[in-house]
Homo-oligomer: A and B are copies of this chain.
Amino acid sequence: MPTLSVFMDVPLAHKLEGSLLKTYKQDDYPNKIFLAYRVCMTNEGHPWVSLVVQKTRLQVSQDPSLNYEYLPTMGLKSFIQASLALLFGKHSQAIVENRVGGVHTVGDSGAFQLGVQFLIAWHKDARIVYIISSQKELHGLIFQDMGFTVYEYSIWDPKKLCMDPDILLNVVESKQIFPFFDIPCQGLYTSDLEEDTRILQYFVSQGFEFFCSQSLSKNFGIYDEGVGILVVVAVNNQQLLCVLSQLEGLAQALWLNPPNTGARIITSILSNPALLGEWKQSLKEVVENIMLTKEKVKEKLRLLGTPGSWGHITEQSGTHGYLGLNSQQVEYLVRKKHIYIPKNGQINFSCINANNINYITEGINEAVLLAESSEMCLPKEKKTLIGIKL
């Protein structure tokens, strides 16, 4: 009988994330507010689920023709096809040329895990990653854990106040890096599905090969199913098939079979024009609602006479955006007002509703009056590109 633990050298790990949420949950203050949820919230403060998803979920669970057999390792074929068409457009040249494919992946980081395992296997020296983004924390830590040296890179031009895809392209070419895009919530930026993936079309049109992590959890409100795809764009069909076949082996060791429920619901919606229309409409409503919230926040700060210009709030698209507060102001809001905001001041605007907007804007006003902000230049777009040096 063994006496010493095999695990005796294993220490308690530092938490990667979640400590803000933990502190929030332990806070007894009755009016505490958490503005850093990853999911899109309704006006009632619940996680948003597209109504058409609820309906389809019920239909799927009542359908006697469905079986519950293992999915193949590559996943649900119809799901992959429908999702790729959503990402690139049905008439995408790359899809027509059969050089775009995908693997059905698991959770929000499964596509990155699978893609990076492939790149390490075939480019053994790949150990440097450039994260070109305004919201980089989780990605960076994951790559660090996988043994990469992580460089953060901003392509935001503070003079032109824009993110020029040409600058992005130059970066990728001059540093010889392999692009790995992250599309976490297509349709939740501008509600225009095509507009939200324009950067991909641009890279395709320039003949680049790349990977993309396409998540479909947030834009359908199926957060707990973590449905995604590792998208592969190759120069031709032959190369694509080679890459996919190697990815299959890796996915087999990772999870063997991806889960079905989320993919089944999404496929039902994407392949039915009426349901697709309902889903698009629900995206539009969510995006409009968030924009309205941002307008209200800006207007309330104006009425309070809060120093500073708050135009950046409404200039940013998507659920998450920067308030433009410095770390002192953020700390004031967390400690004194029990309004929980990440250190970088990026909040989830869908967490603001009629019940808490006054408390939040008054809190911001107090924070700014106590510690006036230095002029800040905030990125208005949140596209993320992971560049891996091969």
Known A70-B223, A255-B107, A255-B108; contact A249-B145, beta-carbon cutoff 8 A: yes
Known A7-B122, A145-B249; contact A257-B12, beta-carbon cutoff 8 A: no
Copies assembled: 2
Could you list which residues of chain A lie within 8 angstroms of chain B, going by C-beta atoms? 1-3, 5-13, 16-18, 38-39, 46-47, 49, 57-58, 60-62, 67-72, 106-110, 112-113, 122, 142, 145-146, 178, 206-209, 217, 221-226, 234-236, 239, 241-243, 245-246, 248-250, 252-262, 390
Q: Find out whether the CB atom of A256 lies under 8 angstroms from the CB atom of B13.
A: no
Please measure, in the bound complex, the distance between the C-alpha atom of A58 and the C-alpha atom of B258, giving whole angstroms: 21
Tell me which of A1, A60, A390 has the highest count of chain B C-beta atoms within 10 A of its own C-beta: A1
Q: Kindly list chain B residues whose C-beta atoms are within 8 Å of the C-beta of A8.
A: 239
- Name which residue of chain B comes closest to A390, CB basis: B6
Please measure, in the bound complex, the distance between the C-alpha atom of A18 and the C-alpha atom of B217, giving whole angstroms: 30
Please measure, in the bound complex, the distance between the C-alpha atom of A217 and the C-alpha atom of B223, giving whole angstroms: 21
Q: Find out whether the CB atom of A256 lies under 8 angstroms from the CB atom of B107.
A: yes
Q: How near does chain B come to A224, taking the closest CB pair, in angstroms?
A: 4
Q: Kindly list chain B residues whose C-beta atoms are within 8 Å of the C-beta of A60.
A: 61
Q: Find out whether the CB atom of A222 lies under 8 angstroms from the CB atom of B39.
A: no
24 contacts between A and B (CB under 8 A): A1-B208, A2-B208, A6-B390, A7-B209, A7-B234, A7-B242, A10-B242, A13-B245, A47-B67, A57-B61, A68-B221, A68-B222, A70-B223, A106-B107, A106-B258, A107-B255, A108-B255, A109-B252, A109-B256, A145-B252, A224-B259, A225-B261, A226-B257, A254-B254
Q: Kindly list chain B residues whose C-beta atoms are within 8 Å of the C-beta of A69.
A: 39, 47, 223-224
Q: How near does chain B come to A279, taking the closest CB pair, in angstroms?
A: 15
Please measure, in the bound complex, the distance between the C-alpha atom of A222 and the C-alpha atom of B122, giving whole angstroms: 35
- Name which residue of chain B comes closest to A112, CB basis: B253
Q: Kindly list chain B residues whose C-beta atoms are within 8 Å of the C-beta of A106.
A: 106-107, 110, 255, 258-259
Of B108, B221, B253, B390, the contact of A257 (CB 8 Å cutoff):
B108
